[in-house]
Amino acid sequence: MAILEEVKPHYGRLGFYINGKWFSNPSNEIFVDKNPAKDEEIAQVEIAGEREVELAISSAYEAFLKWREVPFRDRADYLSRLRTVFQKRHEELSRVLVQDHGRTISEARGTIQRCIENIESALSALYSLYKGEHVMQLARDIDCYMLWEPVGVFLILTPNNIPMHAWSSFVPYALACGCTVIVSPSYQNPVAADMVFRVCEEVGLPPGVMNLIHVGEKYFLNRTILEDKRVMGVGFIGSSKVGKGLFELCGSLGKRSSINGNGKNHIVILEDADLNKAVEYVLRGCFGMTGQRCLGSDNVLVQKEVYGQFKELLIERSKSMKLGYGLDESTEMGPLTSKQGMERVLAFLDKGLSEGARLILDGRNPKVEGYERGYFVGPCVLEDVTTDMWIAKEESFGPICNLIPIDNLDQAIEIINKNTEYGHSACLVTNSGKNARKFIYQCNVGNVGINAGIPQPYAFYPLGSRKESFFGMAKSRIDSVRLFLDQKTVTERWV
């Protein structure tokens, strides 16, 4: 297949979007953003200073005082237009995401559809969850009702693996609820963040409702924003280590938070499973998006009766996966998002080998014709992995499959619940409804899949997470309305 055309070979010098305007400061420091398939520069990005931080906060705060007064129906109209713009520019957004992140074009198109679904979900929340409750004649001549009111300005921190999807998991809901935002994206995907704001500009939102800054690796600037009294909380998707620090900071400041962290996810394959389908689920779960999915898995627990047969099928299919640039529609797996990410994955493999695991499919140093400088690691399958190993407990965030034989479903559930501090997701491949029901009920994770490799809930469900995978008062997606709205009760007597 022909390689699709890039939106631009280079996106120039990226600045900030504050108070409805794009602006640049020639004296600011910059960092370079690269296409991970080519290791070539695609943008230079300005790093915010104290001036830009203050402008973003004051603009968002002043905008909130007006945005909260915008009639309900008018906010719904803005969201409806936002949905239309995303649909119109679906392919452009997808191709930019491939250039900046590295995923395949089919994965990128799926991501933009998830963004549209979040916008639709935010619109549905506006029409349903926002309306409050009312009880007439609660007591003699007394009525009581509850209102939902917008909270204020929020900091939104998006990660390097899902820059657009993470934006959509918070921002449309904040806008629906009458809040304003300051978005600070990962320094590894600034072009993707910039493009989202350029698309949103077509909607004509009032100045200051959405603001974009880049902090590079000056993470203390995010703390400066959160510590400001005009900022009411944070929505975050990223590592549990950083998230836990943010959660503690929010606790000390009395701020609201939705902190979504790491996972150590599992796919369980029982002896009654359709093994060909199971292989496809594992390919998607372990190697999809080059292993950088929040809901992706590292540990694959296979019942001993079918372990050997499953292993052979998995190795055969994994070897055939085509690596390459995501704008080639025949590519099945793209590069890691960054050189640092690639190095972390290689270090994870080295750690596993030092612990005694055996690499039965080695995806290191693959030859990808035309993209020799890209950050590629092919599918890697490890055997002789035991549950006491570090690699069985911590997330690889790369295309790695730890094969672990199990005796039965009870053992699998025990590993999922007790062998890791995380509680993000788990999947089961089976033909038994009884086993599926037991798995759903007993697994202490927030997202369960049955006969699936990625237990991705639709946008009008929250992304569930437990244990060290989540901190805060509300999950992302539709549940984030609880982050952005606060309750007020009114008790009144007129007689």
How far is 381 from 390, CA to CA, in rounded Å? 16
Asked whether the predicted pLDDT for residue 1 surpasses 70, the reply is no
Hey, which residues does 91 pair with through a beta bridge? Answer: none
3-state secondary structure 123-175: HHHHHHHHHCEEEEEEECCEEEEEEEEECCEEEEEECCCCHHHHHHHHHHHHH
Q: Judge contact between 306 and 271, C-beta under 8 A.
A: yes
Cα distances (Å, whole numbers) of residue 345 to 68, 335, 367? 45, 12, 17
Q: Identify the burial level of 304 via C-beta atoms within 10 angstroms of its C-beta, where 0-12 means exposed, 13-18 middle and 19 or more buried.
A: exposed
Picking from 320, 218, 290, the residue whose alpha carbon sits closest to that of residue 36 is: 290
Mean pLDDT across 417-436: 98
* pLDDT at residue 129 tops 80: no
What are phi and psi for residue 30, nearest 5 degrees?
Answer: -130, 160
Q: With a cut of 80, say whether residue 151 has pLDDT above it.
A: yes
Place of tokens 């080639």: 328
pLDDT at 399: 98
| Residue pointed to by tokens 């004649």 | 137
The yes-or-no answer on residue 294 being catalytic is yes
- pLDDT higher than threshold 70 for residue 67: yes
Catalytic-role residue among 177, 294, 401, 427? 294
Does residue 117 register a pLDDT over 80? yes
pLDDT at 494 exceeding the cut of 90: no
Q: How far is CA 305 from the centre of its chain?
A: 36
Each residue's pLDDT tens digit, 301-321: 999 999 999 999 999 999 999
pTM of the model: 0.97
Q: How far is CA 31 from CA 7, 101, 213, 214, 229, in A?
A: 21, 16, 13, 10, 30
Query: What percent of the chain has pLDDT above 70?
Result: 100
Is residue 18 over pLDDT 80? Answer: yes
d(CA 86, CA 93): 8
Per residue in 355-372, pLDDT (tens digit) is 999 999 999 999 999 999
Q: Edge-to-edge, what's the strand order for the sheet holding 13-14?
A: 13-14, 40-46, 30-35
Coil vs helix vs strand at 100 = helix
Mean pLDDT across 21-43: 96
Answer whether 101's CB lies under 8 Å from 189's CB.
yes
Q: Mean pLDDT, to the nearest integer, of 315-330?
A: 98
pLDDT tens string 451-479: 999 999 999 999 999 999 999 999 999 99
Task: Look up residue 240 and give its two tokens.
Answer: 């549990």
Min mean pLDDT across 130-139, 232-241, 251-260, 369-378 is at: 130-139
Alpha-carbon gap, residue 271 to 138, rounded angstroms: 58
Mean pLDDT of 94-98: 98
For Cα atoms 232, 238, 243, give the angle at the middle one, nearest 5 degrees. Answer: 55
Phi, psi of 87 (to 5 degrees): -65, -45
**Tokens encoding 104:** 């395949």
Distances (CA, A) of 453 to 298, 403, 457: 11, 15, 12
pLDDT value of residue 130: 74
Q: How far apart are CA 58 and CA 68, in angstroms?
A: 16
